[in-house]
Amino acid sequence: MKFAVLINEGPYTHQASDSAYHFTKACLDKGHEVFRVFFYNDGVNNGTRLTVPPQDDRNLQKNWTELAEKHDLDMVVCIAAAQRRGILDENEARRQGKDADNIAPGFRISGLGQLVEAGIAADRLVVFGD
């Protein structure tokens, strides 16, 4: 089965990010394909490399980055939602006249067309969060 995953909530404000991570990991571990993970609304906060959770807490950004590296996972952060929340890659930071970027390894910034494509290409689009 080919899945696409949509995450609408931030990593430490809602269970959706944790559930999406564990669902995606379980799919991959069972041999299913995950076409794309798309982060939208507050879900884009999963993609900042500046997250520093306490040592005894889970680090969802690191977990996503490691999962993407291990499985060559396509993780897309919505550009409009990311810009509203101050999450930029190198190209977007330069384009906006900012002096730094903060996108985490394994994530990339793109538009909603990537979500539409994922919904078309996958057998199931699974949504986490409102």
Question: What CATH number corresponds to the domain at position 69?
Answer: 3.40.1260.10
Contacts by 63-66 with C-beta closer than 8 Å and gap 24+? 63/21, 64/21, 64/37, 64/104, 64/106, 64/107, 65/104, 65/105, 65/106, 65/107, 66/106
Q: What average pLDDT does the segment 105-115 reach? A: 97
Does the active-site annotation cover 78?
yes
**Residue 105: domain span:** 2-128
Considering the entire predicted model, what is its pTM?
0.95
Task: Give residue 111's pLDDT.
Answer: 96
Catalytic annotation, pick one of 78, 82, 88, 103:
78
Task: Give residue 61's pLDDT.
Answer: 95
Number of domains in the chain: 1
